[in-house]
Structure 1
């Protein structure tokens, strides 16, 4: 294992592609080698990103009632999950939600809307929302996640001020048909390609814990490298009641760390983001994950609660890291409590979860 890890670090520093056998060894590594795996991945994380942690903040613009049947999603067609359902937030509401994240240190705001893909009217709504957000925070990065894109829509989003577009591959091509039937893997690859062609930063990642094998994980990790994903969110399945994957609990904290390390070795100099499900699957090992990833979501996710923003900021500081853009690796005592500050949707006192 030691020789494999040394090879992975060397290749990551030299810009060489690791082999499947090497990544497979990481995914199947024994528990006694886990800290060695984390340390090796941490060398690459420190080399390219130092002690910085980029914070991202999600704003759920439109929740529930999606016509797609993705088996992992609480907003899917036919879902019986108990989640909020609402149509588009008004620009002022979205800007207020975004402000809570920026106040907590977020450099990127992720605007998410359920559905197969946006209409032209939806794009205009997003444009109005971006204008409202940038009135308060002109320098904030904006990432849109609106589903499958049609011809010319990526270019229009770029014109409206979108910096990045998120569309996850989620799993391997071989496994995809078992996860979703209303669109296919190629549709997702095409949308990422459209975003890149429009000069949007491509944000595409995966969901682990859906019954995939190590080969599936390697397939999607290398596919993300091949399509040029510049930001790789790693999600861990939250098996919502009322969805086909309810009751699917396959992950341990140690397995999650191995998956994150594999992502770092395949994407040594790319933003690897610890995303949905981290709190319930990594549990007490979340601080170790910061030695692998360089980016997290702050606060809640689309339809599930995350940790309190204050707790996340304390964890980052306690682990010896600093929020990107901050001068000190400490958190002011009066830092905004993001969970309480956010609004989940019109007329509610809770926040959306991504």
Structure 2
């Protein structure tokens, strides 16, 4: 297949045109020798909307394991035998302490996650109180990931000050039954629509590398565009021992970069975040992922460790990116620019 003109594809994306399925397939099927051309075209779009800014997100697993769902990728699901910590909702003081660490690390968003299908009223009430205290003490945006939510629950989250709710589609509608049987793709879509009805911005993305086809990846991107979500985390499967997908190993760094380019072509204005698995699958090519994407998680993930914070800051500095805070201001030399030494940054290692 002849490679498209990537620059022309970027121009069409910038005008708001949805790229065709054949063009999307060409992005994923392109040979390695044109990868840098794809990244340059994706960066044109990214730079138009985001410049060289990078947003940092800090993730807290506030309630771990004990989940009744059977998501095949997840170490916290009822069918997983993975050796992970399992605990009920953290005490409010611990949640607020974690938010303080997020603020210290210059994260713009504090992502608060609990395991489970949907929060009970007692847990939900405690979540609301924790959110209120975090918002009162720190200049952070709060993103809550709480499972399936009703419209009434999302309105209460809005009243408590939640800025964003995460609920990933994870994969295409066609492939979803291969990944989970205890809830449907439509259940996930309904939660996103409930969040939007409450006036809260939406965070929804997916997991790449679960055995899906290229068409499934494209369908996921199209679905997210149709839902007009605000933020799009792209996870690359970490095959955790004890989960049904423990033997999945279909990713390489170049494919991951092409996936990120695809999502930028289809979702030009959205915040695109390189999420779980970037350290495992992008490896030494992580900086190139920030040419299509404009945000990352800093610190650890739900049940797997992330890259050392010092290494993330050094990566951003070396690549010439600047940090965007929760209020939209820019941190450059005062934080990790030309005057910042490795010793000054070492406290975040």
TM-score (norm 1): 0.93
Aligned residues: 338
**Quick check: 1:236 aligned with 2:236?**
yes
Give the Cα–Cα distance (whole angstroms) in 1 for the partners of residues 209 and 331 of structure 2.
Answer: 37
1:249 aligned residue: 249
Task: Give CA deviations for 1:7-31 in whole Å, capped at 9, x if unaligned.
Answer: 3211222122111111111000001
User: Pairwise mapping of residues 138-153 of structure 1 onto structure 2 (< 5 A)?
Assistant: 139-153=139-153
Tell me if structure 2 keeps the 8 A contact 1:123–1:157.
no
Pick closer, same or farther for the CA change 1:338–1:79 going to 2, 3 Å. Answer: farther
Instruction: Report the Cα distance in structure 2 between the residues aligned to 1:58 and 1:337, rounded to whole angstroms.
Output: 19
- Please tell me whether the aligned partners of residues 71 and 243 of structure 1 are also in contact (alpha carbons under 8 angstroms): yes
Partner of 1:4: 5
Which range is displaced more, 119-128 or 264-273? Answer: 119-128
Deviations 1:172-202 (Å, cap 9, x if unpaired)? 1111001001001000000001001111101
Q: Which residue of the partner structure matches residue 182 of structure 2?
A: 182
Using the TM superposition, give the Cα deviation of residue 124 of structure 1 relative to its aligned residue in structure 2, in angstroms: 1.3
| Aligned mates of 1:337, 1:17 — CA distance in 2 | 45
Larger mean Cα displacement after TM superposition, 43-52 or 5-14: 5-14
Which residue in the other structure is 2:50 paired with? 49
CA distance in 2, matches of 1:47, 1:203: 21
Query: Which secondary structure state, in structure 1, belongs to the residue aligned with residue 44 of structure 2?
Result: helix
Q: Deviations over 1:103-149 (max 9, x none)?
A: 11100011000000112222211112112222321x31000000001
Pairing 1:327–2:331 present: yes
Kindly provide the CA deviation profile for residues 268-299 of structure 1, in whole angstroms up to 9, marking residues without a partner as x.
Answer: 11100000000000000001111110010001
Note the 1:312-351 alignment, pairs <5 A.
312-324=312-324, 325-328=329-332, 331=336, 332=340, 333-335=343-345, 337-338=347-348
- What is the CA deviation profile of residues 51-89 of structure 1, one whole-angstrom value per residue up to 9, with x for unaligned ones? 100000011110011000000000000311111111111
Q: How does 1:1-354 map to 2 (within 5 A)?
A: 3-137=4-138, 139-324=139-324, 325-328=329-332, 331=336, 332=340, 333-335=343-345, 337-338=347-348
Aligned partner of 1:344 in structure 2 is none
Does the CA-based 8 Å contact 1:103-1:336 persist in structure 2? no
Taking structure 2 as the reference length, the TM-score comes to: 0.94
Which ranges of structure 2 fall in alignment gaps of 5 or more residues?
none
Once residues 248 and 338 of structure 1 are traced to their aligned partners in structure 2, the CA distance between those partners, rounded to angstroms, is 33
State the Cα distance separating 1:326 from its structure 2 match.
Answer: 3.4
Cα distance in 2 for residues equivalent to 1:115 and 1:276: 19
